[in-house]
Structure 1
Amino acid sequence: MNTIRKSILIGLTVLGMGTASLAAHAADTTTSAAGRHGHQVNAEQMQAKMAEHFAARQAKLHELLKLTAQQEAAWTTYQAAIKPSAPASRPDHAALKALPAPERLAKMIELAKQHTATMESHLTALTAFYGTLTAEQKKVFDAKVMGGEHGPRGMRHGMMHRG
């Protein structure tokens, strides 16, 4: 059980970092700036697309879990708690660069603490909802949420495969 909790926490951390990175990238781009492949990128459009993708994934998970009427309230509470919010504004790199090293690190720690607080609230909601699931539903949930048997997305495509 402790391994599951650690895996969930690590997965939420990686997911949060990836989401923060995408949100930060979206916040930095404007409608007049060219995107990665020369396409116009709009922060609001990217955020709307990410929200749509999130909603579609959650709807599919809801369908696969086949929740009972008693579990629906827990599902609703869980969804409200994990729903992506508007991305936090990205710190101004020029301003950060101008800060002395100790103040820069203090600012980075402050941002990390905010991120950790968000992940902890997600973990609380996840734990409460997970406790309402049957053993079969837990298997489905574990397989579909945060990469399941393939591991968290960030671990699969990120640091774990860097030589």
Structure 2
Amino acid sequence: MNILRKSILIGFTVLGMAAAHAQETQPAPQAHGAKPHPTREQMQAKMADMYAKRQARLHDLLKLTTQQESAWANYQAAIKPAAFDGQRPERKPMNQLTAPERLNLALDMTKKRVAFLETRVKAVSAFYSQLNPAQQTLFDEHGLANPRGHWKHHGHRGWGRGEHHEGWGGSAPRQG
């Protein structure tokens, strides 16, 4: 009788462990209405679509003349975001790099950013010079908007328009 009880107890233990393991291997149920995370390709397609729509809105807003269309085409070709080829350079975690390696990495990233900005400045300047003053005003307001809205938040309103933010550099005169 004792052997039978032990066998039943072992059997229930094994069944319980198997059920627990089966629950661990199944994907966790999603909350009602939750969407799965998009893939990298889906995100890239979404960003490309948003970029195209934004550029189309800007084109329509500027009401370009036929003479300005070639400048628009050159501008679009120069600023079009590069497609991601799926290849990422192998990266060591930052904590495995030496201090000089980290600084060289930061310097390389800065050089790439400067090269990108120089290309962008040339493209914008060439296109901007082809616009009339009313179009330039529209381009100033809508042409280079930050998609994350960074300049609209965090106390950065007014930068570049002669207004100062007291919290950054203290250039605004203090009141009383």
Could you say which TM-score interval applies, normalised by the shorter chain? 0.5 to 0.7
* TM alignment of 1:72-151, pairs within 5 A: 72-87=69-84, 89=88, 92-94=91-93, 96-147=94-145
* TM alignment of 1:21-36, pairs within 5 A: none
Alignment RMSD:
2.7
For 1:158 and 1:47, locate their aligned partners in 2 and report how far apart those are by CA, in whole Å.
Answer: 28
Q: Where is the helix percentage greater, Structure 1 or Structure 2?
A: 1
Instruction: Tell me the TM-score normalised to structure 2 length.
Output: 0.61
Instruction: Tell me the TM-score normalised to structure 1 length.
Output: 0.65
Answering whether residue 60 of structure 2 is matched by residue 63 of structure 1, we say yes
Aligned-residue offset at 1:155 = 2.9
Q: In the superposition, relative to structure 1, how do residues 155 and 93 fare at CA in structure 2: closer, same or farther (>3 Å)?
A: farther
The alignment covers a number of residue pairs equal to 122
Bigger-Rg structure (1/2): 2
For 2:91 and 2:81, locate their aligned partners in 1 and report how far apart those are by CA, in whole Å.
Answer: 22
Aligned-residue offset at 1:109 = 1.1
Unaligned 5+ residue runs, structure 1? 1-36
Unaligned 5+ residue runs, structure 2? 1-33, 158-166, 168-176
For 2:59 and 2:42, locate their aligned partners in 1 and report how far apart those are by CA, in whole Å.
Answer: 25
Greater relative contact order: 1 or 2 (C-alpha under 8 angstroms, separation 6 or more)? 1
For 1:159 and 1:93, locate their aligned partners in 2 and report how far apart those are by CA, in whole Å.
Answer: 36
| 8 A contact 1:64–1:140 mirrored in 2 | yes
**Structure 1 partner of 2:152:** 156
Q: In the superposition, relative to structure 1, how do residues 141 and 114 fare at CA in structure 2: closer, same or farther (>3 Å)?
A: same
